[in-house]
Structure 1
Amino acid sequence: MTGTRLIGWPLVDLSRAPNGPRDRQLLMGEAVDLTDAPAPPSSSGLTRGSPPGWLRVRARRDGYPGFVPEAALTPDTPVTHRVCARATHLYPAPDFKTQERAMLSLGARLLVRGAADRFAETPHGFVPRAHLAPLDVPETDPVAVAGRLIGTPYLWGGNSALGIDCSGLVQVACLACGIPCPGDSAEQQAALGAPLPEDATLGRGDLLFWRGHVGWVADPGTLLHANAHHMAVAYEPLHDAIARIEAQGDGPVTARKRLRAAG
Structure 2
Amino acid sequence: MDPRITPANAHVAARSLEGRLQAPRFVDPKARRIGPPVADLLRTPAGLRDRQLLHGESFEVLEIRDGYAFGQAGRDGYVGYVTAEALTDLPEPTHIVAARATHAYPAPDMKRPELCGLSFGTRLRVVSASGNFFETAEGWFVPKPHLRPANAPFKDPVTIAQLFFGTPYLWGGNSAWGIDCSGLVQAAYLACGLPCPGDSDQQEETLGTALPPDSPVQRGDILFWKGHVALAVDDRVMIHANAHHMAVAYEPVADAIARIVAQGDGPLTHHKRLLL
Both structures adopt the same fold (TM-score exceeding 0.5): yes
Q: CA deviation at 1:76?
A: 5.0
1:151 to 2:151 alignment: no
In structure 1, give the amino acid aligned to 2:254. H
1:207 to 2:207 alignment: no
2:50 paired residue number: 23
1:7 to 2:34 alignment: yes
TM-score by length of 1: 0.92
1:103-139 per-residue CA deviation (whole Å, 9 max, x = no partner) reads 0001110001111111010022010010011111110
Separation in 2, partners of 1:34, 1:90: 27
TM-score by length of 2: 0.88
In structure 2, give the amino acid aligned to 1:86. R
Q: Secondary structure at the match of 1:169?
A: helix
1:161 paired residue number: 176
Separation in 1, partners of 2:52, 2:214: 36
Q: Using CA pairs below 8 Å that are at least 6 residues apart, which structure has the higher relative contact order?
A: 1
Q: Aligned to 1:117, which of 131, 142, 145?
A: 131
In structure 2, give the amino acid aligned to 1:71. E
Q: Secondary structure at the match of 2:69?
A: strand
Q: Is the 8 A contact 2:125 2:137 kept in 1?
A: yes
Question: Where in structure 2 are the equivalents of 1:80-229 lying within 5 Å?
Answer: 80-124=94-138, 125-229=140-244
Separation in 1, partners of 2:187, 2:92: 20
Aligned length: 248
Structure 1 residue runs of 4+, over 6 Å off?
none
Structure 1: stretches of 5+ with no match in the other structure: 37-48
Question: Where in structure 2 are the equivalents of 1:69-80 lying within 5 Å?
Answer: 69-75=83-89, 77-80=91-94
In structure 2, give the amino acid aligned to 1:194. T
Q: Is the 8 A contact 1:18 1:50 kept in 2?
A: no
Q: CA deviation at 1:148?
A: 0.6
Separation in 1, partners of 2:92, 2:74: 14
What fraction of aligned residue pairs are identical, expressed as a percent? 56
Q: CA deviation at 1:199?
A: 2.3
Separation in 2, partners of 1:111, 1:123: 6
2:70 paired residue number: 56
Q: Secondary structure at the match of 1:55?
A: strand
Q: Secondary structure at the match of 2:135?
A: strand
Separation in 2, partners of 1:15, 1:199: 39
Structure 2: stretches of 5+ with no match in the other structure: 1-26
1:144-163 per-residue CA deviation (whole Å, 9 max, x = no partner) reads 10101111110000000100
Q: CA deviation at 1:260?
A: 4.1
